[in-house]
Structure 1
Amino acid sequence: MFRIRKSVGRRRALGTIAALLGAAIPLARGKTSASAGTVPQAGSSGSTGGRRITDLIGSNGWAGASNDVEMWRQMGITWGRDSVGPGQPDSPTEPMRVDKTGSQFDNDLPSALLLNNRNGIKSLLLLGYTPPWNATVPGDSNSAPVDVRAWTRYVEAVVRKYSAPPFNLRYFQIWNEAAGKLSGGLPQATFWHGPNFNKDEKHAKPYDRAMQDYVERVHLPAARIIRKYNAYIVYGGWPDQGGVSNFCKWLEYRSPASNERMLDWVDYLDTHYLGVADLDPLYQQYVKNGPARGIWQTEIGDAYMKNPHYLAEYFFDFAVWALDRNWNEPNKYVSMIYHWDGYEPFRLTHRGPPRRTYNASGRSLVVLHQTVSGSLASLTNPLQFGPGASGSGLRSGNDIVLQVNGSAGWRAVTVAGLKRPSGREVKIDFIDAVTGTVSAPDAITTTWSNDGLQLRFKVPDKVNGAENDPPTHLAYIAVRSLA
């Protein structure tokens, strides 16, 4: 109870995270896939308030030792997310405890939050779940509370304590992946159970009051408390199997008891494990003109990180997408990796022994952070790729950075309309997006003309996406010191 349960085995088998190869892409302006209803570009770094790639990057869990904090800093991770409890796990008469965190509530929460504050890491606390003694499905902590007052006592204790000094938290998440029948086929969601639930999916039936019970017994009571303390409400992570259209139905659901929509009590929409393009309908409908403040994904990655390109491509695409969607405050768009720590080779780090080290996914974040280190702005110059390559681009400080994906051999891209700066040397690097290795100068050639900047680059025979189908290489082309 009251914990972020591991979803081992629940995440889908990996689909192919395809490298974008094939014919020339005419004047693609920096997106690996176009999405409907694209809004005008942000235009300049000033219009986005000096946003940085690190604004987007979070992780589940907390950094512990000082060495861990330094590794988070190197990877550009600026957000953490974890549980708070244990609440009243055994009886309504026991003392309310909200001083522990972690899957087993065996770590001290106040010290973790203060460490985050000292190191510039922002914290998201997840509020959940129901004590078994108060569960509508007997003994099931993933079901609605019988006595809503017990739930609100817990929420009140958490928000009152941690929104105040010295913690000063402003972001609280209500529950995790509450949903009804999923578009992916499950009759009930993993973390929201009601009548007719059965661990054997073949014998489970849909939870007919899933929306109404969640809105009236969990979300609205918690949301009112969060707003009372001038804090922000983060929706409880809509599962990827649920479908975006189904998510919209939940957001729009109006409680018969209070005549309120859940959407009116959500500040940040939150989904799990979706691609960047999948977020656009939510932006167009609920963020572009309100009422929501932004879009988060509080879980991404997991086994998808077996592909060493996944995180670098995701966050670069996320930045390009956000720059074109009024990224006017730093916390508007955030995605949190599940998980930064572990023994599986695809996690960000391997915890040791003898010491913690980066895995390929973690190294790719370090390279991204180092390469895209400046204040971000949209790249208004169209990109035209030759056969066998694709990619996107943005401005980082005085640099233009292109993320390119290609098959082995010589590939080409034109940055249309880019003028060579007079009286200034331009340095161009071709950087391995997984290892950070900078290729020899003869691996890239440069031609300036009236059409713009033409680049030819040599993708090595040994590509860094060797297990992809087809195998491709992910790299950055950094055009330095243009201003």
Structure 2
Amino acid sequence: MLGTNGWAGSASDLAMWREMGLTWGRDSVGPGQPDSPRDPMRVDRTGVQYNSELPPVVIRNNRNGVRSLLLLAYTPKWNASVPGDSKSAPVDVDAWKRYVDAVVRKYSAPPYNLRHFQIWNEAAGKLSGGQVQASFWHGPHFNEDRKLSRPYERAMQDYVERIHLPAARIIRSYGAYVVYGGWPDQGGLDNFRRWLEYRSPLYDERMLDQVDYIDTHYLPVHELDPLYEQYVKHGPARGIWQTEIGDTYMKDPHYLPRYFFEFAAWALDREWNDPNKYVSMIYHWDGYEPFRLTHRGPPARTYNVSGQSLVVLRRTIAGSLQRFPAPLAFGGDTSGTAVLSDSDIVIQVSAATGWRSVTATGVKPPAARTTTVEMIDGLTGARSDGENIALTWKDATLNVRFKVPSEVNGPLAKPPRHLAYIVVRRAA
């Protein structure tokens, strides 16, 4: 369920990925034929500048239980419909198809055995924020000065017919899965559904007919519901992904642990019967900004607060996850969500300072009535003193009172909140 953009570059990086629970990586593959159609086809490089070898990355990922998502993009400048613009549609669609075929043929076969490939990134037309052309999909009248750009009227028709459907057919011909190219959050879900169901007169086929995993970017969990209800609950799609979340949202240190805990609880209520049915990938796992998961150094890579919060989350719900069957009732100025981790009840709470409470009705105590309760700081993993938390369990009603510290761990710019886990351990 947890992934990130980019690759782990070393054994120590992979160890940190394991600590954070990251099991997916995502990055580019190329460069294809960068300078002319006479170039040899190269699909052995990765990174923004194609400055790293890709095959050893995929092999290393496979050996360490990390899955790899390869992003199929963009257009060589010599083939761009907007002169010199790699984010525009190809003039020669066959050149695009040759590149896609070379990638999928190579990496779907041993020793790589990849099964998931993503087509392009954030292709859309006019965006709700006022941009008349999308950041990664340009057409006629595009200008680097956004104020001078004019709308790309055939943006999605061209994407469906010149990019998505040709590539998807190739991907599926190798027995692999099609991941949609990440619908941008500013594109609007009504617009997304419109184009998923658009039937191309050229192919007599909908884009949706060639999508295995619906993919969006930067949406809150509850906004995934319409996509689940319409396209996943009864098909045809296999699942819902977000291949980019986080970024500057991670300036709020509660963002990632709340997102992933809520995402897990949401998935458990929606037939999470395949480990790859629901995946979200953080943008980005390393860098120099203090809100990234890690600071790359020098002298050595270290966790930032967001990365440490994932370590705490992974350690706190390390068992087999199941949905929590009872409704929760909270005292004032408190909210939260619960899951079962093996036999533990884990409640993630967001609360103001002072004494707070949470009650669950309809949960029977274990026969031996041997239970313990603790409160764990959601960012640091520190455990609260025993006198600051108390558990009572009468018949089928569980009640926990807990004291939120005066120095909360939430951002200063908002009303002060504390993020913590209430863990009720039930011994048989």
Residue 435 (structure 1) aligned with residue 380 (structure 2): yes
SS of 1:464's equivalent in the other structure is coil
Name the count of aligned residue pairs.
Answer: 428
SS of 1:400's equivalent in the other structure is strand
Q: CA offsets, 1:257-277, max 9 Å, x none?
A: 111000000000000000000
Give ranges in structure 2 of 5+ residues lacking alignment: none
Query: Cα distance, 1:451 vs. partner?
Result: 5.4
- Select 1:454's aligned residue among 386, 389, 399: 399
Matches within 5 A, 1:180-199: 180-199=125-144
Residue 91 (structure 1) aligned with residue 19 (structure 2): no
Tell me what 1:211 maps to.
156
Q: TM-score, normalised by structure 2?
A: 0.99
Query: Cα distance, 1:471 vs. partner?
Result: 1.0
**Any conservation in 2 of the 1:184–1:243 contact (CA below 8 Å)?**
no
- Choose between structure 1 and 2 for higher RCO, CA contacts under 8 A separated by at least 6 residues: 1
Tell me what 1:303 maps to.
248
Residue 154 (structure 1) aligned with residue 66 (structure 2): no
Tell me what 2:361 maps to.
416
Query: Cα distance, 1:183 vs. partner?
Result: 2.4
Query: Cα distance, 1:393 vs. partner?
Result: 0.3
Q: CA offsets, 1:27-60, max 9 Å, x none?
A: xxxxxxxxxxxxxxxxxxxxxxxxxxxxx10000
Matches within 5 A, 1:300-449: 300-449=245-394
For 1:148 and 1:230, locate their aligned partners in 2 and report how far apart those are by CA, in whole Å: 22
**Any conservation in 1 of the 2:197–2:208 contact (CA below 8 Å)?**
yes
- Select 1:279's aligned residue among 224, 239, 253: 224
Matches within 5 A, 1:237-252: 237-252=182-197
Give ranges in structure 1 of 5+ residues lacking alignment: 1-55
For 1:147 and 1:99, locate their aligned partners in 2 and report how far apart those are by CA, in whole Å: 22
For 2:389 and 2:146, locate their aligned partners in 1 and report how far apart those are by CA, in whole Å: 55
SS of 1:145's equivalent in the other structure is coil
SS of 2:356's equivalent in the other structure is strand
- Select 2:70's aligned residue among 118, 122, 125: 125
Amino acid at match of 1:249: R
Residue 69 (structure 1) aligned with residue 14 (structure 2): yes
Q: CA offsets, 1:217-243, max 9 Å, x none?
A: 111110111000000000000001101
For 1:464 and 1:197, locate their aligned partners in 2 and report how far apart those are by CA, in whole Å: 44
Residue 100 (structure 1) aligned with residue 67 (structure 2): no
Amino acid at match of 1:109: L
Query: Cα distance, 1:156 vs. partner?
Result: 0.5
**Any conservation in 2 of the 1:137–1:194 contact (CA below 8 Å)?**
yes
SS of 2:391's equivalent in the other structure is strand
Q: CA offsets, 1:69-128, max 9 Å, x none?
A: 000000000000000011111111011110000111111100000000000000000000
Tell me what 1:11 maps to.
none
Residues 217, 179 of structure 1: CA spacing in aligned structure 2 closer, same or farther, 3 A cutoff?
same
Query: Cα distance, 1:417 vs. partner?
Result: 2.1
**Any conservation in 1 of the 2:252–2:411 contact (CA below 8 Å)?**
no
Amino acid at match of 1:319: A
- Cα RMSD for the two superposed structures: 0.9
**Any conservation in 2 of the 1:307–1:468 contact (CA below 8 Å)?**
no
For 1:266 and 1:123, locate their aligned partners in 2 and report how far apart those are by CA, in whole Å: 18
For 1:262 and 1:183, locate their aligned partners in 2 and report how far apart those are by CA, in whole Å: 22
SS of 1:391's equivalent in the other structure is strand
Amino acid at match of 1:91: S
Residue 202 (structure 1) aligned with residue 147 (structure 2): yes
Residue 469 (structure 1) aligned with residue 378 (structure 2): no
Residue 141 (structure 1) aligned with residue 83 (structure 2): no
Tell me what 1:479 maps to.
424
Query: Cα distance, 1:420 vs. partner?
Result: 2.2
For 1:342 and 1:481, locate their aligned partners in 2 and report how far apart those are by CA, in whole Å: 41
Amino acid at match of 2:144: K
For 1:351 and 1:129, locate their aligned partners in 2 and report how far apart those are by CA, in whole Å: 28
For 2:132 and 2:415, locate their aligned partners in 1 and report how far apart those are by CA, in whole Å: 36
Tell me what 1:169 maps to.
114
**Any conservation in 2 of the 1:127–1:174 contact (CA below 8 Å)?**
yes
**Any conservation in 2 of the 1:254–1:260 contact (CA below 8 Å)?**
yes
Residue 257 (structure 1) aligned with residue 202 (structure 2): yes
**Any conservation in 2 of the 1:393–1:401 contact (CA below 8 Å)?**
yes
Query: Cα distance, 1:432 vs. partner?
Result: 0.2
Residues 468, 455 of structure 1: CA spacing in aligned structure 2 closer, same or farther, 3 A cutoff?
farther
Query: Cα distance, 1:447 vs. partner?
Result: 1.4
Residues 210, 482 of structure 1: CA spacing in aligned structure 2 closer, same or farther, 3 A cutoff?
farther
Q: CA offsets, 1:356-408, max 9 Å, x none?
A: 00000000000000000111111111110010111010111111100000000
Query: Cα distance, 1:467 vs. partner?
Result: 1.8
For 1:426 and 1:446, locate their aligned partners in 2 and report how far apart those are by CA, in whole Å: 9
Which structure has more strand as a fraction of its residues? 2
SS of 1:221's equivalent in the other structure is helix
For 1:397 and 1:448, locate their aligned partners in 2 and report how far apart those are by CA, in whole Å: 19
Query: Cα distance, 1:424 vs. partner?
Result: 4.5
Query: Cα distance, 1:468 vs. partner?
Result: 4.4
Q: TM-score, normalised by structure 1?
A: 0.88
**Any conservation in 1 of the 2:365–2:396 contact (CA below 8 Å)?**
no
Q: CA offsets, 1:415-466, max 9 Å, x none?
A: 1122222225211110000000011111101112235111100000000004
For 1:87 and 1:473, locate their aligned partners in 2 and report how far apart those are by CA, in whole Å: 49
Q: CA offsets, 1:294-349, max 9 Å, x none?
A: 00000000010011100000000000100111111010000000000100000000
For 2:35 and 2:412, locate their aligned partners in 1 and report how far apart those are by CA, in whole Å: 48
Tell me what 1:22 maps to.
none
Query: Cα distance, 1:282 vs. partner?
Result: 0.4
